[in-house]
Chain A
Amino acid sequence: MTEPRAADSLYIERSGGFGGLRLSASIPVDELKPQEREALELCFEAPEAPPSGPDRFVYRLRLGDREAVVQEDRVPPGLEPLLRRLAGLWR
């Protein structure tokens, strides 16, 4: 499966968890709320953290040529509603 690199779409991949399932979703940037864009910037600027612990989810976020790997417990609060919205969209 190709991973969109377009700058107009945010690609989100979730891996890890007890199940180790690898799921992904894309969302058009213009559907992101202002606080979600702000939280996304925080993720891109933060240094990559070590694993938070066994069986935690790990998110990979990509927008254009920017990418961030975010451990589940380090997701900024502003992004949490977006990740919950994706629950039914994972493929």
Chain B
Amino acid sequence: MGASVRFIVPPQLFERVARTGAAEDREIALDTLAIDHSIRTARVQNAALGARTPKRLVAAHGGRGNPDRTIFNARHRADVHAGTVLRTEGQPPVPDSSANQAYDGLGDTYRFFWEVLGRDSIDDAALPLLGEVHFGVNYDNAFWDGERMMFGDGDGRLFTGFTQAVDVIGHELTHGVTQDTLNLLYTGQSGALNESISDVFGSLVKQYRLKQTADRADWLIGAGILGPAFPGIALRSMKAPGTAYDGDGQPAVMSGYVVTTADNGGVHINSGVPNHAFYLTAVALGGQAWERAGRIWYRVMSTRAVAPEAQFHTFALATVNAAIALYGDTSPEAQAVASAWIQVGVLTAGQVPTPAAVAT
């Protein structure tokens, strides 16, 4: 790798311009950033992926608002990273509909993070997006394995293909963003926050695509992948946790927090509490949820405002602080966030930060 590129100006400054600057400044800053992508991308990827697989470390097509997607065919295996490529960036649709759905969903998610939050892919350095479809046999799941997004076809009874809903794809890609930012431990409350962040941005990707306002959105997770035998309308409801299906045990408020050893301490159950706090914030503010509520939540991530072990209470305070930093300490935004966490029983009125507390 060439060593001729030097950071004459701290790259953070360029990134700030790229995210917030005027259009012309943005172009210049982004061009400059592109030069050192190769170095930084390699460094970030090596750290994130542990250099597990030899692969190209430079975004060949991507960055600056352009995703670099590759969709692989797992051919119903579940043990290795597939080598068979179904569709690469810029190619027209292929006969495999799962591949096209994954390609489109990853594109929608990339565009959301770029256009709304100024984030360039999972690592904010144009990381190529790798998806693998037809994972396993009748596999009722999708997951982020630290390197690729894996999608099962479903058993056809409870679930149909996991590529069919953009909120699912957004959820999985967001796990990658969380890994790159807060790196929340996947157990107990920090694990439930990890899950909730994926639901929040998964839902926002869907709302952004549909150009919905908060009061028009369904706030459901996984509604588009359910099979005929599934006993409900979705896997989770951020608007009304615990009502998505017959047997849905999600709490909406802290008093319903479920202590369990299943699911790494109930990470998909207790995510109901922070999910509902986000919903309450978004509907209180009105308009499009990504504009303010989404930006506040994302600021906690991009500034790495909490530690990997963060509990609900710490995260809640961080969102209030983020709202204050973005909009001011007496802003409706800060009040809406604080009020939401009070309503779900994570904060009490006396715990909401004052301007003095924010300064520390």
Contacts and interface: CB of A to CB of B under 8 A. Distances in A.
Overall SS of chain B's interface: loop
Given A51-B187, A58-B262, A17 B140 contact: yes
B264 A51 contact: yes
Contacts of A21: 158, 235
B263 A54 contact: no
B218 to A, nearest CB: 17
Contacts of B198: 54
A11 interface: no
Contacts of A56: 141, 143
B186 A54 contact: yes
Contact of B268 (A16, A51, A88): A16
Contact of A60 (B158, B172, B262): B262
A58 B264 contact: yes
Interface residues of B, number: 34
B146 interface: yes
Contacts of A15: 262-263
Q: Chain A at the B interface: mostly helix, strand, loop or mixed?
A: loop
A74 B233 CA distance: 32
A43 to B, nearest CB: 16
Interface residues of A, number: 22
B132 to A, nearest CB: 14
Nearest to B159: A19
A18 B162 contact: yes
Contacts of A58: 262-264
Contact of B142 (A18, A22, A51): A18
B263 A55 contact: no
B142 A55 contact: yes
A51 B186 contact: yes
A20 B175 contact: no
A13 to B, nearest CB: 7
B143 A13 contact: no
B168 interface: yes
Contacts of B172: 18, 54-55
A62 to B, nearest CB: 12
Contacts of A20: 195, 235-236, 263, 267-269
Given A54-B175, A54-B198, A56-B143, A22 B168 contact: no
A60 B83 CA distance: 32
A59 to B, nearest CB: 10
Given A51-B264, A54-B144, A55-B141, A18 B235 contact: yes
A69 B171 CA distance: 25
A89 to B, nearest CB: 12
A39 B125 CA distance: 43
Given A54-B143, A55-B141, A87-B155, A16 B269 contact: no
Interface of B: 137-138, 140-146, 155, 157-159, 162, 168, 171-172, 175, 186-187, 191, 194-195, 198, 222, 235-236, 261-264, 267-269
Interface of A: 13, 15-22, 50-51, 53-58, 60, 69, 84, 87-88
8 contacts: A15-B263, A16-B263, A18-B141, A20-B236, A20-B263, A51-B187, A55-B144, A87-B138
